[in-house]
Amino acid sequence: MKLIVTGGAGFIGSHVCDALLAQGHTVHVIDNLNGGKRENLPDGVVFHNMDIRSDEVAVLFEKEKYDAMYHLAAQMDVRKSVADPGFDADVNVLGFLNLMEAGRRTGLKKVVFSSTGGAIYGEPEYVPQDEDHPQQPLSPYGITKLVSEKYLFFYKDQFDIDYVALRYANVYGPRQNPHGDAGVVAIFTQRMLRGQDAFINGDGQQTRDYVFVADVVRANMAALELDGSGIFNVGTGIETNVVELFRMIKEFTGSDIEETHAPGKPGEQKRSVISYARTEKALGWTPQTPIRAGLKETVEWF
């Protein structure tokens, strides 16, 4: 197939490009390199340095006529979305609509959308949170991801463009930038390897569901094969608190850093853990990488 990957020079997007090329697809990438890096891109992709909000998108889609799109480009910093919700919506909603309009006019058949688990559900009413859990996003970032899912339903209903929305837990692994919630793995790892202080926010008992990037890529490959549309969680169903995470990374880096706590971040979610039962049933996907193995590989990459 001829595929376009937005945000393909980024952390998750570049791994997706690797896998798509390995399967023999023709892969184009749109990325403005705001968060991504040119060196992340594998040989063999066709790179377009552009913003997803630009008029160039329509011209590109008209010329290339892609079969399917992987949409990973986003303003993905939760705290930045709170500070500037207008910018967050401009990129994550209007940029997304710019792509979808270009796609519907040029025969796009399918979208695989990188959504979010924790940020869409908000504080859990029960755990693990499944896809039917009430959606109460606590940040503009979570709101824009939920809005995008609703637009995907609209484009399926009106223009018969299939979609798979993958609601990720906290993704970590090689090539990760130290930004956003899941960036804590990259932040701790980088600082410990450099002999710098690394601080745990609050008491460190806040939990997240950490899923390894290679497992996320397998879910993306399975999504392309799905006949039909749907929304699926991509997580492990296992909670890990920040203190546990800190101690594992300290072990793998060989750091002698002290366990130091900083004031908690206001409004930070206390728990987040998602169920992958529906994903296993529909996509045949389960997480394969235990957190210790994933962290060890991540530390070795850094």
Q: Is 14 helix (H, G, I), strand (E, B) or coil?
A: helix
Q: Three-class SS string for 42-93?
A: CCCCEEEECCCCCCHHHHHHHHHCCCEEEECCCCCCHHHHHHCHHHHHHHHH
Helix 140-159 × helix 95-105 angle, to 10°: 10
Cβ neighbours for 283, distance < 8 A, ≥ 6 positions apart: 219, 222, 223, 226, 232
In the three-class reduction of DSSP (H, G, I as helix; E, B as strand; rest coil), residue 239 is classed as coil
141 is annotated as an active-site residue: yes
Compute the distance between CA of residue 69 and CA of residue 99 in angstroms, rounded to an integer: 9
Nearest to 181 by CA among 50, 79, 33, 63: 79
Query: Which is nearest to 209 in space by CA: 265, 269, 268, 274?
Result: 274
- E-strand ranges in the chain read 2-6, 26-31, 46-49, 68-71, 110-116, 162-168, 170-172, 199-201, 207-208, 210-212, 230-234, 240-241, 260-262
Place of tokens 């998108």: 57
CB contact at 8 A, 265 and 204: no
Catalytic position from the list 66, 70, 121, 141: 141
Q: Which CA distances in Å does 174 have to 150, 190, 301?
A: 31, 12, 6
Q: Pull the structure tokens for residue 16.
A: 């997706």
The catalytic site residues sit at 141
